[in-house]
Amino acid sequence: MGDSAPAEAVVDVRELRYAIEGRPIFDGLNLAARRGQITAVMGPSGTGKTTLLRLLMGAIRPDAGRLSVFGDEVAGLARPALYRLRRRIGMLFQNGALMSDLSVFENVAFPLRAHTRLPEPLLRRLVLMKLQAVGLRGAADMAPGALSGGMARRVALARAIVMDPELLIYDEPFVGLDPISLGVILRLIGTLNATLGITSIVVTHDVEEISRIAHQSYLLASGRAVAAGSPAELRAAAAPVVNQFMQGLPDGPVPFHVPAPDYRTQLLEPDA
């Protein structure tokens, strides 16, 4: 990364540091998401991908460094300004997070009812338009419990775009989906990004899937972005940790075992 942010960076992360109970999660993280592009944030489990989203949304604060969204330093925003910022962002949660006691229609309508005073006819049209965009207008009256995993993920996506966000964030959108549902979600991410003119950040560990649509990819490891570029450039990277992740190799810099005392010594220790 250079010393200056890209001219059209919607999200700009500089030398970000964050630790939990003294354990570093980020130790000098740098990345940027450009306007109108799909940016993939990848990495092995436990590298802080979801933590990065919590920092981006202002749910937690970094220990050091800078994280700005739309030019605003998130950590420095007062609560009213932070809430205004969040209204410009749509979020697709990893598990969909649909409310089981509300219909599909009311799940999608929820942000509109919470943040606007739209007349009911206009609200109804907006919700049906978003459901149409994800192919589920015919499921408007269904309960979330009657949906398949892929359909539930699409309803959550309709809810994420109902406020017409400028930035759309996906947290592990492909987890648990069958190949057909995965292909549908993948196509929707690309289509919505292009037709709505938004910026997308996709947090994932699914290399093959996101490589089809991402403009820029970052690979996180050891608290930093150890590689950045197009998916093709990441595949060509020589760093062992990048090669291990991109090729899905079980052995490499990312160990199978969590660091522990000597196995034999620990087994022979007398009971406490």
Please indicate, yes or no, if residue 250 is contained in any of the structural domains: no
Inside any domain, residue 193: yes
* CATH code: domain of residue 188: 3.40.50.300
Q: Which 8-state DSSP code applies to residue 221? A: E
Residue 81 maps to a domain: yes
Q: Which of 26-35, 226-235, 255-264 has the highest mean pLDDT?
A: 26-35
Q: Residue 228: inside a domain, yes or no?
A: yes
What pLDDT is stored for residue 149 in this prediction? Answer: 82
Place 7 in a pLDDT band, splitting at 50, 70 and 90: very low
User: Would 35 be classed as within a structural domain?
Assistant: yes
Provide Rg for the chain, Cα atoms: 20
In a domain, 264, yes or no: no
Residue 265 lies in a domain: no
How do residues 197-248 score in pLDDT, each as one tens digit?
899 999 987 777 788 888 888 988 888 888 787 767 777 765 666 555 555 5
| Collapsed DSSP state (helix, strand, coil) of residue 230 | coil
Quickly tell me which residue has 């009812």 as its tokens. 113
So what's the pLDDT on residue 39?
93
Q: In whole numbers, what is the pLDDT of the chain averaged over residues?
A: 84
Q: Using one digit for the tens of pLDDT, what is the confidence trace for 103-154?
A: 999 999 999 999 889 999 999 999 999 999 888 999 999 999 998 888 898 8
Cα–Cα nearest to 5, from 28, 32, 27: 32
Angle formed at CA 227 by CA 176 and CA 185, multiple of 5 degrees:
25
| 183 domain residue, yes or no | yes
Q: How confident is the model at residue 44 (pLDDT cuts 50, 70, 90)?
A: confident
Cβ contacts of 178 within 8 Å, gap of 6 or more: 149, 150
Taking residues 150-165, what's their average pLDDT? 90
- Residue 85 belongs to domain spanning: 9-238
**How many domains does one find in the chain?**
1
* Two structure tokens written together for 131: 């459901």
Q: Binning pLDDT at 50, 70 and 90, where does residue 6 land?
A: very low
